[in-house]
């Protein structure tokens, strides 16, 4: 019997994770991570309802339940990082940073200090073995696989982690929740920013940054096409919400944050939209760095198809990656995750 602290978010996935662990004979404690409780104008943070749902399931399962307050760490490590990245003109992924800094660092450390032997979450991923050490493997359900968000986990953290849903499909998880009569069996999956609920990134950023209107400029002709409401709100490859209409659709192909200019084009074949080479910084490898010249696969965004690639240059600070086929709208600030078959090697942040 292993003493496992399972992160319970109030959703069906973590609820079923807790139920499965108990069925398997583990000594299970449910933990709600209170990461964010702040309401925004016209938008109420769903944390109280999620906490109530998590507690309700814990009672149903007959397991102890705790609340860990990580609001300070979350604001510093995830929210402040996200805001700073947007202000620099990049498009970060807060879910990646949340997993790296909070769930598999702060929560793991707090759980172990409180007496846990391992932690568990409702992520769709698997822990395997590679060359005798813990490795991160993709989930059975390819449509729900969440390893893209988990690539910055450490080998040491993986050795202390259980992913109970890694071998199940989402429909199977829903069926198990219904069969057990769990309170969250029909609860919809959360949408929007990972910590705020159903709120768009623009609405969130407007609470923390002072954005000014600026010009939308045709990259080729340098002609001013219209006005935007802040370059910070636009991301590479974006088509909708540009406020310039008529004729062919426009796509964002660049930003000048200092001048507050958003550059666009109607040319879907524009060289700025397509890249077959890219550089990554802030590298993280789970089981040691991959080898230059070997064929791997890379995923450029969640649920995007895997692309064959080779590392052409690598150092401690960064690498250069050659893609087999050009990829559209590779966005600075986003994560590129490198796979070796079904094993996650690691990855980095697009420069």
- CATH code (residue 131): 3.40.50.620
Segments forming the whole domain that contains residue 306: 274-350
C-alpha distance from residue 79 to each of 92, 204, 230 (Å)? 11, 10, 19
pLDDT values of the chain reduced to their tens digit, one per residue, 351 residues: 999 999 999 999 999 999 999 999 999 999 999 999 988 877 788 899 999 999 999 999 999 999 999 999 999 999 999 999 999 999 999 999 999 999 999 999 999 999 999 999 999 999 999 999 999 999 999 999 999 999 999 999 999 999 999 999 999 999 999 999 999 999 998 865 665 556 678 888 999 999 999 999 999 999 999 999 999 999 999 998 888 877 889 999 999 999 999 999 999 999 889 999 999 999 999 999 999 999 999 999 999 999 999 999 999 899 999 999 999 999 999 999 999 999 999 999 999
Number of structural domains (the chain) is: 3
The catalytic residue positions are: 98, 194
**pLDDT score at 45:** 87
In 3D space, the residue among 24, 30, 38 whose CA is nearest the CA of residue 9 turns out to be 30
Check residue 43 and give its pLDDT.
77
pTM of the model: 0.95
Residues 137 and 7 in one domain: yes
- Pair (179, 317) in one structural domain: no
**CA distances from residue 281 to 93, 284, 314, 317 in whole angstroms, order as listed:** 14, 9, 10, 6
The verdict on 169 and 48 lying in the same domain is yes
Predicted confidence at residue 194, as pLDDT, reads 60
Q: Do residues 135 and 165 both lie within one domain?
A: yes
Whether residue 125 sits in one domain with residue 232: no
Q: Are 320 and 312 in contact (CB under 8 A)?
A: yes
Q: Look at residues 201, 231, 248 and tell me which one is the last residue of a structural domain.
A: 201
Q: Do 133 and 234 fall within a single domain?
A: no
What is the distance between the alpha carbons of residues 139 and 176, in angstroms, rounded to a whole number? 17
b/e per residue, 294-327, with b = 16+ CB within 10 A?
Answer: eebbbbbbbeeeebebbbeebeeeebbbebeeeb
The answer to whether the CB of 157 falls within 8 A of the CB of 123 is no
Last residue of a domain, one of 201, 218, 241: 201
Residues 49, 120, single domain; the answer is: yes
CATH number, domain at 341? 2.40.30.10
100 shares its domain with 215: no
Give the pairing of strands 274-285 and 343-350.
antiparallel
């Amino acid at each position: 019997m292993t003493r496992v602290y399972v992160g319970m978010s109030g959703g069906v996935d973590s609820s079923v994770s807790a139920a499965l662990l108990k069925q398997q004979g583990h000594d299970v404690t449910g933990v709600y991570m209170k990461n964010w409780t702040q309401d925004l104008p016209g938008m109420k943070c769903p944390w109280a309802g999620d906490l109530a749902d998590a507690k309700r399931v814990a009672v149903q399962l007959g397991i102890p339940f705790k609340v860990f307050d990580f609001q300070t760490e979350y604001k510093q490590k995830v929210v402040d990082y996200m805001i700073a990245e947007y202000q620099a003109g990049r498009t970060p992924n807060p879910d990646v940073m949340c997993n790296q800094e909070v769930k598999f660092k702060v929560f793991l450390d707090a759980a172990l200090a409180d007496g846990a032997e391992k932690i568990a979450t409702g992520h769709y991923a698997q822990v395997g073995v590679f060359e005798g050490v813990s490795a991160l493997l993709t989930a059975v359900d390819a449509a729900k696989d969440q390893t893209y968000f988990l690539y910055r986990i450490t080998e040491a953290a993986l050795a202390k982690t259980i992913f109970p849903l890694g071998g199940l499909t989402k429909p199977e998880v829903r069926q198990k929740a219904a069969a057990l009569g769990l309170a969250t069996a029909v609860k919809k999956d959360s949408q929007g920013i990972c910590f705020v609920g159903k709120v768009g990134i623009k609405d969130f950023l407007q609470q923390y940054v002072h954005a000014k209107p600026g010009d939308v400029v045709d990259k080729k002709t340098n002609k001013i096409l219209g006005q935007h409401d802040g370059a910070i709100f636009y991301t590479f490859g974006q088509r909708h919400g540009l406020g310039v209409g008529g004729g062919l659709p426009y796509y964002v192909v660049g930003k000048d944050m200092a001048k507050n200019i958003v550059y666009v084009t109607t040319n879907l074949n524009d060289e700025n939209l397509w890249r077959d080479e890219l550089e990554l910084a802030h590298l993280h490898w789970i089981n040691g760095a991959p080898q230059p010249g070997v064929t791997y696969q890379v995923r450029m965004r969640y649920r995007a198809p895997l692309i064959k690639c080779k590392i052409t240059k690598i150092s401690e600070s960064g690498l250069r990656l050659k893609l087999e086929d050009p990829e559209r709208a590779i966005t600075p600030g986003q994560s590129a995750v490198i796979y070796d078959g079904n094993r996650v090697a690691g990855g980095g942040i697009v420069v």
